[in-house]
A = this chain, B = another copy of it.
Amino acid sequence: MPDRKSVAAALKNQRIETPSWAYGNSGTRFKTFLQEGIPRDPFEKLDDAAQVHAFTGVAPSVALHIPWDRVDDYAALAEHATSLGLRLGAINPNTFQEDEYRLGSICNPDPAVREKALGHLLECVDIMDVTGSDALSLWFADGLNYPGQDSLAERQQRLSEALRVAYDRLGPDQRMLLEYKFFEPAFYATDVPDWGTSYAHCLDLGERAQVLVDTGHHAPGTNIEFIVAFLLGRGRLGGFHFNSRFYADDDLMVGAADPFQLFRIMHEIVRAGALSDSANVAFMLDQCHNLEPKIPALIRSVLNVQEATAKALLVDGDALAAAQRDGDVLGANAVLMDAYNTDVRPLLAEVREDMGIDPDPIAAYHRSGYAEKITATRKDGTPAGWGA
């Protein structure tokens, strides 16, 4: 049985990165419903992220999205983060929101567009150099809407070429995370649609290229923990974009749609020792809170990851291994379920008290008055969103 002390230590040591874009307005193709108190620039997004960290104690870094988070002085932004007890995390280039990218970015049939997109990737590495970010987190919206629209094979060639240049630009302490997505926004074919494609390109590139698993980016029925276990076994799991979904969308709070799946994923992480810093697996949220208020939704998401992790840490590994070895199907499953069915909230409350924070982060946030404050003070200006 895992002892409570080491479980608590692992939980205190866990780190979950929040995404700057989750603090801004977002929506579906039908409508972006506006909320009050939304940050108007990247500095204010960091202010909000600092709240999530203050109340959870495990969310000290923030991923940036360029150009949504473009500023004149990234060093100043990094300093602002430091002043808040935060650091800047992964840099996420955006190669899908300019009219030139209608038919793709680095896979576009037009070399000039590819050049432009590659330039943006390189610009993002420049930003990493300034911010100290260690991860270039790549997701490409590239794909096709109609059969025949472009050559699937040639697009892979173009992809390889651009990734090579970007990879070679990375410094020795920087790495590339290559995300895959089953579909959307492309309707017929996506240029990096599955982990296999991402993995193959990472193998081509070198050791510092790793697969990024977005939990919402799979075909219906895909066994995500299998992919996690497989990539861990080969040292190619770079990290996660956590979120959840019931259908094809991918923006619900992680653990909201299928908490058991999240637990199974964290079980593979724990089993492989990949919670530790040395494993260098980035646990990042990638969500958009379209209906619910942003900051408490992010706190809730961090708690959901913590709860799944706590349950995974409580799995009795020896009993599990014994039942597996004996071919005891029901017994092995029962060991796993015993941990899953445990209410870990009391344990996490204790951990938080040890860390000097409120045992109930959501309630503490609501009591803090921060929501009222930002609603009052951020009335003017343009709230941040996907387009800004």
Given A31-B185, A110-B327, A221-B247, 6 other A-B residues pairs in contact with their CB atoms under 8 A: A29-B386, A30-B386, A187-B246, A199-B200, A258-B258, A259-B260
Which chain B residue lies CB-closest to A220? Answer: B220
Which chain B residue lies CB-closest to A246? Answer: B188
- Tell me if A28 counts as interface (CB < 8 A to partner B): yes
Q: Are B290 and A324 in contact (CB under 8 A)?
A: no
- Tell me if A369 counts as interface (CB < 8 A to partner B): no
Which chain B residue lies CB-closest to A236? Answer: B200
Complex Cα gap A296–B234 (Å):
37
Q: A147 with B199: in contact, given A29-B27, A246-B188 (CB under 8 Å)?
A: no
- Chain B residues contacting A219 (CB-CB under 8 Å) are 218-222
Complex Cα gap A374–B203 (Å):
50
Q: Are B148 and A335 in contact (CB under 8 A)?
A: yes
Q: Please tell me how many copies of the chain the complex holds.
A: 4
In A229-287, the 8 Å CB interface with B consists of 229-230, 232-234, 245-249, 251-253, 256-260, 264, 268, 271-272
In A179-197, the 8 Å CB interface with B consists of 182-185, 187-190, 193-197
Q: A183 with B146: in contact, given A29-B27, A330-B296 (CB under 8 Å)?
A: no
Q: Are A152 and B34 in contact (CB under 8 A)?
A: no
Complex Cα gap A241–B269 (Å):
35
Q: A153 with B232: in contact, given A183-B246, A300-B330 (CB under 8 Å)?
A: yes
Q: A109 with B325: in contact, given A31-B96, A203-B203, A245-B187 (CB under 8 Å)?
A: yes
Q: Closest approach, in angstroms, between the C-beta of A117 and any C-beta of chain B?
A: 14
- Chain B residues contacting A102 (CB-CB under 8 Å) are 33, 291, 327
- Chain B residues contacting A259 (CB-CB under 8 Å) are 260, 340
Q: Closest approach, in angstroms, between the C-beta of A192 and any C-beta of chain B?
A: 10
- Tell me if A103 counts as interface (CB < 8 A to partner B): yes
Q: Closest approach, in angstroms, between the C-beta of A303 and any C-beta of chain B?
A: 10
Q: Are B103 and A320 in contact (CB under 8 A)?
A: no
- Tell me if A329 counts as interface (CB < 8 A to partner B): yes
Q: Are B30 and A96 in contact (CB under 8 A)?
A: yes
Q: Are B248 and A248 in contact (CB under 8 A)?
A: yes
Task: Fill in one digit per residue for A193-235: 1 if any B CB lies within 8 Å of its CB, else 0.
Answer: 1111101100100000000000000111111011001101110
Binding site for B on A (CB under 8 A): 27-31, 33-34, 96-97, 99, 101-103, 109-110, 141, 145-153, 156-157, 182-185, 187-190, 193-197, 199-200, 203, 218-223, 225-226, 229-230, 232-234, 245-249, 251-253, 256-260, 264, 268, 271-272, 290-293, 296-297, 300, 307, 320-321, 323-325, 327, 329-330, 332-337, 340-343, 345, 362, 386
- Chain B residues contacting A252 (CB-CB under 8 Å) are 145-146, 187-188
Which one of B156, B223, B325, B334 contacts A229 once the chains associate, using CB atoms below 8 Å? B156
Q: Closest approach, in angstroms, between the C-beta of A151 and any C-beta of chain B?
A: 6
9 sampled A-B residue pairs with Cβ under 8 A: A31-B101, A148-B336, A151-B321, A156-B229, A156-B233, A187-B252, A194-B196, A219-B219, A219-B220
- Chain B residues contacting A157 (CB-CB under 8 Å) are 233
Complex Cα gap A319–B290 (Å):
23
CB-based closest 3 A-B pairs: A196-B196, A219-B219, A148-B336
Which chain B residue lies CB-closest to A342? Answer: B343
Q: Are A247 and B246 in contact (CB under 8 A)?
A: no
Complex Cα gap A280–B268 (Å):
39
